[in-house]
Structure 1
Amino acid sequence: MTTLLAFEGALEGEGGRGDGTASHRLQSNVTVFSNSLFSDISIQWRTAMNTPNPYQSCIDACNSCAAACNACMAACLKEDDVKMLGRCIALDVDCAAICGLAADAMARESEMARHFCRICSEVCLACANECGQHSHTHCKRCADECKQCAKHCLEMIN
């Protein structure tokens, strides 16, 4: 509003009639434009919110997998023999990162979503194989989530 008022003053001083007519026309045009713009954005937003994302089940699987990987990594770091779990921890970090990236790409309906999902499925399977070798409950849960995520990602790209 301050910018608009300053601009109105400049119009009156430079070629305006001094009666506020030019500034009133400008203000009316800006108001109509801004109302139209916000209306269009609002309609697009509501339409987007009412339209289900075609990737939603895969997004949910990726988010669940990322959470399981982060929990597994944190739990592995509290185990007595952390060194033995080094590869598990590293894959948990990689898997959580790519799952988040894939979920974000699908949420945006990015043209690259399929590519992220292909890589995500590969990392998830590697993480599932590693976590599946350990007897810890958190590793077993992580392996299960990774397998489900890989399945959803493979379905999405096929």
Structure 2
Amino acid sequence: MHHQSAAMKECIDNCLNCYRECLSTAMSHCLDMGGEHTKPAHFRLMMACAEICRTSAHFMLIGTEHHKHTCRECSEICRECADDCERIGDMASCVEACRRCAQSCERMAA
């Protein structure tokens, strides 16, 4: 069994939380709100963010060194998603989840 550091375990949790937050926010809140919330660029960004978070968590869980690459990309997409959700407004928990994930993924990518 491959050993996961405390930082990696935290990152996995942050990624899975961000995946859940982005997906559920997009599918419930954004679809209900419409307007800016469902513009294609924003909606695609939220879907991309959810998917890269899930993938990064998966790569860390299976113990491949490639997690450094997915985590680097994940950090970038999470920051972009956080900024866009903040710009649109009324998505504080999504913004927070994205920022937390971005920070821990940055550490894992280093």
Counterpart position of 2:68: 114
The CA deviation at 1:133 is 1.2
Identity %: 30
- Counterparts of 1:52 and 1:88 in 2: how far apart (Å)? 37
- Counterparts of 1:111 and 1:157 in 2: how far apart (Å)? 10
CA deviations on 1:21-63 (whole Å, 9 max, x unpaired) are: xxxxxxxxxxxxxxxxxxxxxxxxxxx3xx7522211100000
The CA deviation at 1:119 is 0.3
Uncovered stretches (5+) of structure 1, i.e. residues with no partner: 1-47
SS state of the match for residue 132, structure 1? helix
Normalising by structure 1, report the TM-score.
Answer: 0.63
The 5 A counterparts of 1:9-158 are: 48=1, 53-54=4-5, 55-74=8-27, 75-79=29-33, 82-85=34-37, 86=39, 87-136=41-90, 139-158=91-110
The CA deviation at 1:88 is 2.8
Instruction: Tell me how large the CA RMSD over aligned residues is.
Output: 1.3
Which residue identity does 2:76 align to in structure 1?
A: E
Uncovered stretches (5+) of structure 2, i.e. residues with no partner: none
Q: Which runs of 4+ in 1 moved over 6 A?
A: none
- Counterparts of 1:119 and 1:106 in 2: how far apart (Å)? 14
- Counterparts of 2:43 and 2:96 in 1: how far apart (Å)? 16
The CA deviation at 1:134 is 2.4
- Counterparts of 1:129 and 1:135 in 2: how far apart (Å)? 10
The CA deviation at 1:72 is 1.4
CA deviations on 1:60-102 (whole Å, 9 max, x unpaired) are: 00000001101210110011xx232223322110000000000
Normalising by structure 2, report the TM-score.
Answer: 0.88
Which structure exhibits the higher relative contact order, with contacts defined as CA atoms closer than 8 Å and separated by 6 or more residues? 2
- Counterparts of 1:52 and 1:134 in 2: how far apart (Å)? 40
Please tell me whether Structure 1 or Structure 2 has the larger radius of gyration of its CA atoms: 1
SS state of the match for residue 87, structure 2? coil
